């Protein structure tokens, strides 16, 4: 099984739920977080060291002592033999942070190991977890293993999921969130469980500091302000570079639309999704927008966007969900009055492709 998706999507949380669920069915769960420096032998040795003796019953009964080979001596064959000697119960090996492994050779070794264990009907299931857009990004796959893999690409949360998340937090913390507060958190969470939790946490802390058991809109504003400052530190330069340095250019509006328009389950959007509201694009305008989006994928633009393969049309998503939130906050926060709502009139920029003059928008 492979769980993949962008950072903060809830991959580890889902893997933990899988681990807890299977442990009630006679599975022993062994967790290991990968790092960039470990070798195949070191990772396998670390996992094997945690295999309880009771799972190795037959080997022990037959008087063969269970000795771990030294990490340097563990290759795919040794690892296959070791895992195949598990003869009681079942084992789930949860390898988290698998994306930290950059060596193709090492990935290939794991693929081979999983293939061998699957062919041998071993009592071991691997659950790999990592940040990736596609399964291929995470794993070096040959076709023969694809049949024995269950890939799970984690989608973004829905608005209803975020509502559930806030309700759970209310139950656990004893705080209650007003309608306005939950609506602002939902709007600014960019449908990421990580950001939804973070905004709830900071808003809750602001409420507690103010000795209030109710999280109000003003507390969410404090949380957003703090988050905006943190994000500006890491993202402002990249943003400025991507829009070409010129404030008020139509690329700013483009990115703002990309950040606000409700996109697909994986946060993807196409040039057509960014058309001016109530306007039809002509082909040239759509092509100009698509070119601008493609340009934002390039290293010169800091790879702000990446191309996804979620639909027939060329689609894109933000490379980093934090950038999407930064863009929302950049424009939504300076407005001192009004609700913290990300839906708003267009930015005061020059003409967007497909729109006739900027004067048209001023009169809207
Ligand atoms: N379905 C969910 N409901 C509520 N909270 C969730 C859910 N999924 C994840 N979270 C919370 O979101 C945060 C990020 O989750 P998690 O660490 O599992 O993500 P991840 O994809 O493993 O992140 P990373 O890419 O950094 O490893 C955590 O605080 C977690 O508790
Ligand atoms: Mg994780």
| pLDDT of amino acid 264 | 84
For the segment 257-275, what is each residue's pLDDT rounded down to a tens digit? 899 886 788 889 988 888 7
Q: Whose CA is nearest to atom 19 of ligand 1?
A: 10
Check whether residue 184 and residue 93 sit in a common domain: no
Instruction: Note the ligand closest to the C-alpha atom of 165.
Output: 1
Closest CA to 2 of 133, 121, 91: 133
- Identify whether residues 186 and 133 lie together within a single domain: no
Q: How far is the C-alpha of 290 from the C-alpha of 61, rounded, in Å?
A: 66
Task: For residues 14-34, give the mean pLDDT.
Answer: 93
- Between CA 178 and CA 295 the distance in angstroms is 41
User: Of the residues 2, 4, 6, 8, which should be mutated to test ligand 1's pocket, given the most ligand atoms within 8 Å of the CB?
Assistant: 8
pLDDT in tens, 301-349: 888 999 987 667 789 999 999 999 999 888 877 654 444 444 555 555 5
User: 10 Å Cβ neighbour count for 134?
Assistant: 12
Reduce the secondary structure of the chain to three states and give it as a string. Answer: CEEEECCCCCHHHHHHHHHHHHHCCCEEEEEEECCCCCCHHHHHHHHHCCCCHHHHHHHHHCCCCCCCCCHHHCCHHHHHHHHHCCCCCEEEEEEECHHHCCCHHHHHHHHHHHHHHHHCCCCEEEEEEEECCCHHHHCCCCHHHHCCCCEEECCCCCHHHHHHHHHHHHHHHCCEECHHHHHHHHHHCCCCHHHHHHHHHHHHHHHHHCCCCEECHHHHHHHHHHHHHHHHHHHHHHHHHHCCCCCCCHHHHHHHHHHHCCCCCCCCEEHHHHCCCCCCCCHHHHHHHHHHHHHHHCHHHCCCEEEECCCCCCEEEECCHHHHHHHHHHHHCCCCCCCCCCCCCCCCCCCCCCCCCHHHHHCC
Together in a domain, 251 and 281? yes
- Averaged pLDDT, 5-9: 90
Residue identifier of the C-alpha nearest atom 23 of ligand 1: 8
Ligand 1: which of 153, 171, 172, 193 to mutate, most ligand atoms within 8 Å of CB? Answer: 193
Q: Is residue 273 domain-shared with residue 331, that is, in the same domain?
A: yes
Q: What mean pLDDT comes out for the span 62-81?
A: 79
Looking at ligand 1, which residue's alpha carbon is closest to its atom 29? 194
Query: Do residues 100 and 186 share a domain?
Result: no
Mean pLDDT computed over 339-362: 53
Q: Which residue has the higher pLDDT, 200 or 362?
A: 200
Q: How many residues does the chain have?
A: 364
CA of 34 to the centre of ligand 2 (A): 11
Last residue of a domain, one of 107, 137, 153: 153
Q: Considering only CA atoms, which residue is closest to atom 13 of ligand 1?
A: 194
pLDDT of amino acid 138 = 82
Q: Is the distance from CB of 81 to CB of 70 less than 8 angstroms?
A: no
Q: Are residues 135 and 199 in the same domain?
A: no
**Does residue 99 register a pLDDT over 60?**
yes
pLDDT at 289 over 60: yes
Residue 114 shares a structural domain with residue 194: no
Residues 213 and 79 in one domain: no
Task: Give pLDDT tens digits for 176-227.
Answer: 999 999 999 998 999 999 999 999 999 999 999 999 999 999 999 999 989 9
pLDDT reported for residue 357:
47
Are 309 and 260 found together in one domain? yes
**Contact of 364 with 345, CB cutoff 8 Å:** yes
**Gap between the Cα atoms of 318 and 328, Å rounded:** 13
Find the 230 Cα to ligand 2 centroid distance in Å: 21
Question: Any residues with Cβ below 6 Å from ligand 1, and which?
Answer: 7-13, 131, 165, 193-194, 197
The domain spanning residue 114 has which CATH number?
A: 3.40.50.300
Percent of the chain with pLDDT strictly greater than 90: 45
129-147 confidence digits (pLDDT tens): 999 888 888 887 666 677 7
Domain boundary among 153, 184, 219: 153
Same domain, 149 and 163: no
Domain extent, residue 304, equals 159-362
pLDDT at 358: 42
State whether 203 and 242 are in the same domain.
yes
Tally of domains in the chain = 2
Q: Are residues 122 and 255 in the same domain?
A: no
Token output for 95: 């390898």
Domain boundary among 112, 134, 153: 153
Rounded alpha-carbon distances, angstroms, from residue 224 to 140, 200, 260, 332 = 40, 10, 16, 10
């Amino acid at each position: 099984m492979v769980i993949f998706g962008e950072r903060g999507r809830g991959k580890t949380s889902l893997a933990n739920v899988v681990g807890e669920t299977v442990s009630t069915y006679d599975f022993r769960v062994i967790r290991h977080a990968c790092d960039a420096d470990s070798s195949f032998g070191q990772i396998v040795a670390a996992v094997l060291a945690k295999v309880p003796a009771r799972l190795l019953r037959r080997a022990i009964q037959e008087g063969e002592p269970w000795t771990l080979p030294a990490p340097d001596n563990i290759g795919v064959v040794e690892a296959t033999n070791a895992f195949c000697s598990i003869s009681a119960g079942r084992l789930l090996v949860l390898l988290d942070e698998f994306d930290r492994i950059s060596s193709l050779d090492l990935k290939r070794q794991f693929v081979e190991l999983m293939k061998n264990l699957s062919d041998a009907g071993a009592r071991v299931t691997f659950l790999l977890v990592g940040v990736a857009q596609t399964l291929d990004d995470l794993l070096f796959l040959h076709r023969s293993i694809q049949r024995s893999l269950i890939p799970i690409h984690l989608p973004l949360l829905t608005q209803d999921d975020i509502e559930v998340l806030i309700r759970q937090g209310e139950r656990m913390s004893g705080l209650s969130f007003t309608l306005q507060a939950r609506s602002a958190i939902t709007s600014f969470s960019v449908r990421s469980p990580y950001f939804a939790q973070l905004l709830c946490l900071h808003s809750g802390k602001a409420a507690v500091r103010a000795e209030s058991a109710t999280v109000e809109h003003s507390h969410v504003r404090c949380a957003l302000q703090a988050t905006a400052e943190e994000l500006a530190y890491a993202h402002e330069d990249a943003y400025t570079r991507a829009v070409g340095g010129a404030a008020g250019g139509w690329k700013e509006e483009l990115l703002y639309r990309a950040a606000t328009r409700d996109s697909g389950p994986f946060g993807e959007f196409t040039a057509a999704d960014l058309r001016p509201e109530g306007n039809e694009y002509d082909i040239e305008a759509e092509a100009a927008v698509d070119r601008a989006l493609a340009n934002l994928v390039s290293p010169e633009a800091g790879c702000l966007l990446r191309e996804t393969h979620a639909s027939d049309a060329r689609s894109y998503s933000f490379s980093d969900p934090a950038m999407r939130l930064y863009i929302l906050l950049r424009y939504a926060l300076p407005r001192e009055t009004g609700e913290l709502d990300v839906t708003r009139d267009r930015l005061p920029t020059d003409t967007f492709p497909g729109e006739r003059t900027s004067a048209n928008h001023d009169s809207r």
